[in-house]
Amino acid sequence: MSDLAKHDPEIFALIEKEYGRQVNGLELIASENVVSKSVLEAVGSILTNKYAEGYPGKRYYGGCEFHDVIENLARDRLCKLFGATHANVQAVSGSQANQEVYFAVMQPKDRMMSQDLSQGGHLSHGSPVNITGKLYEVTHYGVDKETETLDYAQIAEQARQIKPQMIVCGASAYPRIIDFKAFKEIAEDVGAYCTADIAHIAGLVAAGEHPSPVGVVDFTTTTTHKTLRGPRGGAIMTTDDELGVKIDRSVFPGTQGGPLMHVIAGKAVCFKEALSPDFKAYAKQIVKNSKKMAKVLMDEGFTLVSGGTDNHLLLMNLSTLKDATGKHITGLEAETVLGQAGITVNKNTIPSEKLSPFVTSGLRIGTPAVTSRGMKEDDMEKIALWISRVLKDVAKDRSSKTEINAVKKEVTEFAAKFPLYPEVN
């Protein structure tokens, strides 16, 4: 990055600082990962110079012959990876992908059912603060109060009462297996389309570590980062050619203009990587690591939503963690103190949440990024114990920095053994 350092040293310095933060700390954000150097090179390529509105063979600009090949490679690889027959790789994000599915088959004021944001859903599933919640009449389903897992019989009854045009399944903070066949049966019973948002678990689905919705539901949307370990972006898949035509029209010209061809190239690279045996081993390790971290945290006395995890993330219920005065440690406070110790996590709402989304009673922890750096179960035990030490020390004395400082030093020494890019370090 010598040219950037010369011409914009301010931005270069900030990138260097962020590089240092990632290298010296532990990223446990469930929606983040570490892309390969190949993906970085594709996304940083001269493909960013080109407009390519339209689709391969039907562009509105000249000079797209190589871009056509790149986009077709991305589409073909994605279809092979998930067993789809039609894929759109132009969606710029997972949220855009969801909106484009809705726009393809729904009209304003149509009814939608989706998982409640405070119980694991996502903004783009019809949250009232999102455009999808303003355009459609949305009813949310949640999790069972006792098990904190999805109750498909209850969701089916709710659907029969609401009679929605669309049922959305998939989540951003749900630690258990999702039964996509059950959702499709519920949708068929009420004459609704069914969309599965697998943004978080796409890598696990691709590797066979989670059941696939492709070929089961009508539409499957995803991001291409998170567990899929590609560039930030979105994609849409289906096995219905007629619905595929509607999707393409909804993406362009319906909601987007010129596609980001440098990002699509990065997507093509990540799809190729995900087709390799190494990626299958990586996805399996993600789940092993998540389960190990969950076990250690529960052994340390912490409460986890649903009592554990089946996938790449876990949710800590901090409402049982109190200081000497009986005051709860909030998700915001836990996120802050762990960040000071070099462990990056995010505050998160939990079922039966009583605090605001800016404060929360929970903490979301994910293993994709640390797994990409080569960490395994024994390393998860160390990390979980560091989390426990910091949170318990803060609960004992909110002003204490003893464990924060001690853990920060240990984390920095530990992280040095797992470089982001070995050839760089």
Per-residue pLDDT tens for 207-259?
Answer: 999 999 999 999 999 999 999 999 999 999 999 999 999 999 999 999 999 99
Q: For residue 326, what pLDDT is reported?
A: 86
| Structure-derived torsion over alpha carbons of residues 335, 339, 344, 345, reported in degrees to the nearest 10 | -10
Q: For residue 1, what pLDDT is reported?
A: 87
Q: For residue 85, what pLDDT is reported?
A: 98
What rounded mean pLDDT belongs to the chain?
96
User: At residue 135, does pLDDT exceed 90?
Assistant: yes
Q: For residue 422, what pLDDT is reported?
A: 79
Q: For residue 283, what pLDDT is reported?
A: 98
Q: For residue 392, what pLDDT is reported?
A: 96
Chain centre to alpha carbon of residue 392: 28
User: At residue 267, does pLDDT exceed 60?
Assistant: yes
Residue pLDDT, tens place only, 353-386: 999 999 999 999 999 999 999 999 999 999 999 9
Separation between Cα atoms, residue 140 and residue 160, nearest integer Å: 13
Read off the pLDDT of each residue in 266-289 and give the average, rounded to a whole number. 98
Closest CA to 154 of 144, 166, 145, 162: 144
Q: Characterize the bridge pairing of strands 193-197 and 219-223.
A: parallel
Q: For residue 132, what pLDDT is reported?
A: 94
pTM of the shown model:
0.96
Q: Characterize the bridge pairing of strands 234-238 and 219-223.
A: antiparallel
> Above pLDDT 70, what percent of the chain?
99
Separation between Cα atoms, residue 406 and residue 385, nearest integer Å: 13
Q: For residue 325, what pLDDT is reported?
A: 85
CB atoms < 10 A from the CB of 380, how many?
23
User: At residue 424, does pLDDT exceed 70?
Assistant: no
Q: Annotated active-site positions, please?
A: 51, 53, 197, 223, 226, 232
Segment among 120-134, 192-206, 238-252, 276-290 with least mean pLDDT? 120-134
CB atoms < 10 A from the CB of 365, how many?
29
Q: How far is residue 217 from each of residues 159, 195, 414, measured CA to CA in Å?
A: 16, 6, 43
User: At residue 165, does pLDDT exceed 80?
Assistant: yes
Q: For residue 423, what pLDDT is reported?
A: 67
Asked if 224 and 206 touch (Cβ cutoff 8 Å), the reply is no
User: At residue 425, does pLDDT exceed 80?
Assistant: no
Residues 6+ apart with CB under 8 A from 423: 37
Domains of the chain with bracketed CATH: 40-274 (3.40.640.10), 286-415 (3.90.1150.10)
Confidence label for 193 from pLDDT (cuts 50, 70 and 90): very high
Q: How far is residue 331 from each of residues 42, 292, 337, measured CA to CA in Å?
A: 37, 22, 10
**Angle of the 402-415 helix axis to the 377-396 helix axis, nearest 10:** 160
